[in-house]
Structure 1
Amino acid sequence: MTRIAIVGGGIGGLTAGIALQKAGYEPLVYERAPQFGEVGAGLSISPNAVKGLESLGFADFLRATCNEPLDQFILHGQTGEQLQRFDRRDCRETYGGSYYQIHRADMLDALVKAFGTRNCRMGKSLKTLEQRKDHILLGFDDNSSAEADIVIGVDGLRSVVRDILFDTPDPKFSGHVAWRALIPGNRLSPRATERSNINHIGAGQNLVTYPIRGTELVNMVALTRASGWVEESWNAKAKPAELAALFEGWAPYVTEVIAAIGEDDLYRWGLFIREPLKQWVKGRIGLLGDAAHPMLPYMGQGASSAIEDAVVLGRCFAACKDPVDALSFYERARVERAAFLQAESNLGGDRLQALDPYVLRDNPPKNEDALGIFSYDPSTVELA
């Protein structure tokens, strides 16, 4: 049996593991965290990724657990005036998959259960990779080691696997800062827990809310600009007063949302970018998700593109007798699509946060629908 090591136990890594299991392999996931824990954030799963997850057996879980927004609203940040509305009621009929929103921890928990904790090696922070003629030696910070025939690096923006393979430049601060909080739904007006995605936009910033776990929680994500470097961490705490100052004078809905954030419940992190890669594979080692194509969150395709990668990876391994050939097949199948998503997502902030919000109303930019992003199906797309 071919030994496959997946470095990174996030959504992309676990989905890849499940896809490879479906293809007849028994991969192991090596995750640096000591255990899988609660990740306090909401997650959008667009139709392209939903089709992939459903092909792996998650249709019932998604239907039972996710919220499905009926509308996406883009509103003027100061006046609250509606600039655009996207009707999402016919997503499944139009694209073959629903548009879902879910607590990230719920999605991760489902993936862990499906993949199996027995297949996970926790507390394993990769330090070295040594590619030999017929296998790879992995070295970890705890001085342990492992051997594999194939390694898939799914270890995020600051991927150790990517840096070892290609020695690419360090990530650069994009000038964008993200703020996130989960707010109990009963602290907010009923508008916040309706089945919709509400995005207030203004010059250089915007604030999005949508409910998850029914109406129990409202996920808030704000995106702002900064000229200097901001600490890149999902666990950097911030004070609601800092966010309130940035959105002073905005619509009452925005003010209400920020005022409802618990004093200890707001997180802030800088968004970093890396140069696009034209090559993801070297010998017996390949990349997946943010390790290969990190992107800014303006089109909500970070997790969805990793899910696409994972589903296509599994199909390539099912189609090829030689796993090294399967990696090359996977690279050819995914590089162009991922580069497109990366480029469009990185441009999204400039489009969305125009100096004058009315520009967006009067000259609607290409969104996910117009760009054909939702039409892609990783479970059926031709692998040529």
Structure 2
Amino acid sequence: MIGRCLRLNGFKEIVKNVSNQSFCSSLAVIKNNELSNVETSQLEKQKIIEELISKNTDEYLVYDKRLDANLAPFSDKVDLEYLDDLMPPLNATFNLAHYINRMPTLQRLVDLGVNLYVLEQDREIAQYLIRLDFNRDIKQHLLYLKSLGIEDDALGTWITCNPLIFRESIENLNIRLEYLKSKKFTQEMIQMILIRYPPFLSFTVKRVDTALGFLQREFRLTGNDVRQIISHHPKVIHFTHLRYKAISFALKEVMGFSGDQIRKIIVGAPSCIYRDCPHLEKTFDLLHERNGYSRELIVNSPYCLTAQLSMLVARINYLKLLNLFQPDPKKPCFTALDDLCVVSLPVFIEKCAKTSVLDFIKYTKSC
């Protein structure tokens, strides 16, 4: 196109060359009866260019929108769809949505409910997805996942959580499932694991076996304990033995729980492993040291250790303001830990505070 930005250095020489050439040579296709109009337009453009040179207002670039005017359109002989295919290659931004129209595999993934925006944030995954062929790389895995109990409407979310599943061969996936069966995980347990934590299926047998062994030894768990924990909280397999050791040390050495009490806490609230040690220690300090809940009560309601600290503080202080807080189960109006940590706000207000949700909200805003 003549109307592009041109550098002043050598600009006059370019204009001279342009003036010596027929403008017709710069067009893809042109009709014979349009020749006189094009030549007239070319003379006008040369005058504009000479005017820009004489002004010399920019040290680097000169540009005038009039240079783009009156260009002849493409003729009917030009294949516009072919021109549309002449797109630049995928760039470093990996905006996958921009390339859906030219990649049928991405279209099929979107139809399944896969969130490409989430996946394209990882450069490696984005590069991996654009190389996939649906029939060759994806179809058999989808049928396999459905055979394991993954519902059709959940496939998109599942793949979004574990897009690298297509790297694994069906044979390797079967080996991993057979390993779980050898450890007496039932079909229902396996289905729960895969639905709740899709990346689990990508872990090698060695990694899973090592993690289960560390988990069992560190917290003195039985086989049934391990199966129960992994079935309901399969994400614990994601953490290393160092996390298990840190949690065990905090519960035993810092908080003073016995080995059997630690086992009960982990079995009753496996999500304790998700929390970092400072959070567990601060929660224990609030409940036991500052407000008098015994270790036995905490063991019986272990989820209290994973509760949001600000919520616990607000509820305890609100009950103290109303003279309704009682951590001793032997005394009247005992405040159970489950009422502080587990139940919803309306239930807490109705059962413990005997006021209204609005009053509680006003109290929290005044603090």
TM-score bracket for this pair, using the shorter chain length = under 0.3
TM-score (norm 1): 0.23
Name the structure with the higher helix share.
Answer: 2
Name the structure with the higher strand share.
Answer: 1
Larger RCO: 1 or 2 (CA < 8 Å, sep 6+): 1
TM-score (norm 2): 0.23
